[in-house]
């Protein structure tokens, strides 16, 4: 077991990185974040030092990690757009790992995704697989934590599904709707990541919750928890995506892309691994559904209007 005095977390002002950083602070660990976000978005009141996540300045990236026991990496992009591509995100991740190695970081905890594979036909999962392979080859002991769909306060995906359920009388279910999803609570994921930082062996662990849902049942549960009546209409993936594109025009965002639907329908957001945490989405919804989907969280404004 490792001693953990200082850590660098990418994205501590964003979603999963924030929960990892909070857990580290609670243990008395000194936390620095690498982020493109301004300090005005710091939820920690200055307790987390921030440095740029700037892949064009590898020396600065290395310097920003010097002295850290562990790097927690959450960096990834949801889809390619403009100069943001998966190839570039893979290269950026590799550069980050190399900079961490040069900085003498003792361990890298990397947040990946279930069923990541360099052989996947889906660019997101393929890119994540390539990053896993790069990490395994980089010479720093590692832990790869692979979550399914992550739920919790500040989540984007489930929140925006909830928003659509609240806003529209019909909700498209792609194909049969019986593909499995095994959501994991963001706090359980953070606990697993911090625990992984304390181990010495390199390891790959799926981060999965205790409940498995068929996608349609999950959407019905979400609607029922919010007290919303929605007509669930089975559509072909193409028609369903056409509908989400119309919604995208309304909210000026990319709501969902084909690859995400394909990954969902292929059952890639599940795993046979034992549960990583005890938190059930069904129980969490009882306390949190009232606040879910009250407003739409735009992916483009949140993550795609930044210097790269």
Ligand X SMILES: NC(=O)c1ccc[n+]([C@@H]2O[C@H](COP(=O)([O-])OP(=O)(O)OC[C@H]3O[C@@H](n4cnc5c(N)ncnc54)[C@H](OP(=O)(O)O)[C@@H]3O)[C@@H](O)[C@H]2O)c1
Strand partners, 111: 145
Which of 4, 11, 160, 275 is close enough to bind ligand X by CB under 6 A?
11
Stretch 65-124 residues interacting with ligand X (CB under 6 A):
74-77, 84, 111, 113
- Which of 143, 149 has the CB closer to ligand X? 149
Near ligand X by CB under 6 A: residue from 14, 22, 159, 160: 14
The least distance separating ligand X from the CB of residue 29, rounded to whole angstroms, comes to: 18
* 20, 32, 35, 125: residue in contact with ligand X (rule CB under 6 A): 35
Q: Near ligand X by CB under 6 A, which window of 29-37, 98-106, 164-172, 210-218?
A: 29-37
The answer to whether residue 16 forms part of the interface with ligand X (CB under 6 A) is yes
CA separation, residue 165 to residues 136, 250, 260 (Å) = 41, 15, 19
Distance CA 82, CA 102 (A): 31
Q: Is 265 in the site for ligand X (CB under 6 A)?
A: no
- From the CB of 149, what's the least distance to ligand X, in Å? 5
CB of 225 to ligand X, least distance (A): 18
CA-to-CA distance for 126 and 131, rounded, in angstroms?
A: 9
Q: Is 247 left (phi over 0), alpha (psi -120 to 50) or beta?
A: alpha
Measured CA to CA, the distance from residue 81 to residue 84 in angstroms comes to 5
Q: How many residues bind ligand X (CB under 6 A)?
A: 24
Closest to ligand X by CB, 177 vs 209, is: 209
Residues 39-70 as b or e (16 or more Cβ within 10 Å = b): eeebebeeebebeebebeeeeebbebbeebbb
User: How far is Cα 107 from Cα 4, in angstroms, rounded to an integer?
Assistant: 10
What is the Cα–Cα distance from 231 to 283, expressed in whole angstroms?
24
The residues of the shown chain that bind ligand X, judged by CB under 6 A, are 10-11, 13-17, 35-37, 53, 74-77, 84, 111, 113, 147, 149-150, 157, 303-304
């Amino acid at each position: 077991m490792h001693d953990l005095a200082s850590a660098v977390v990418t994205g501590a002002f964003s979603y999963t990185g924030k929960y990892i950083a909070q857990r580290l602070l609670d243990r008395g660990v000194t936390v620095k974040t690498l982020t493109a976000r301004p300090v005005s978005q710091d939820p920690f009141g200055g307790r987390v030092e921030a440095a740029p996540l700037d892949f064009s300045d590898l020396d600065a990236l290395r310097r920003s990690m010097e002295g850290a026991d562990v790097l927690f990496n959450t960096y990834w992009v949801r889809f390619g757009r403009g100069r943001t591509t998966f190839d570039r995100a893979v290269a950026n991740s590799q550069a980050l790992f190399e900079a961490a190695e040069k900085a003498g970081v003792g361990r890298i905890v990397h947040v990946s995704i279930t069923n990541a594979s360099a052989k996947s036909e889906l660019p997101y999962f393929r890119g994540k697989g390539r990053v896993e392979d790069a990490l395994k080859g980089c010479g720093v002991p590692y832990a790869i934590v692979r979550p399914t769909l992550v739920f919790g306060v500040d989540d984007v995906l489930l929140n925006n599904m909830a928003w659509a359920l609240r806003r529209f009388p019909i909700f498209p279910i792609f194909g049969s709707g019986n593909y499995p999803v095994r959501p994991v609570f963001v706090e359980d994921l953070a606990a697993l990541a911090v625990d992984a930082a304390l181990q010495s062996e390199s390891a790959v662990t799926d981060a999965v919750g205790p409940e498995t849902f068929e996608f349609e049942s999950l959407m019905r549960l979400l609607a029922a928890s919010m007290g919303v009546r929605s007509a669930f209409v089975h559509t072909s993936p193409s028609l369903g995506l056409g509908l989400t594109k119309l919604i995208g025009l309304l909210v000026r965002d990319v709501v969902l892309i084909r690859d995400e639907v394909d990954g969902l329908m292929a059952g890639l957001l599940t795993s046979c691994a034992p549960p990583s945490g005890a938190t059930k989405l069904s129980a969490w919804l009882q306390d949190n559904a009232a606040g879910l989907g009250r407003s739409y969280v735009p992916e483009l404004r949140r993550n795609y209007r930044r210097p790269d």
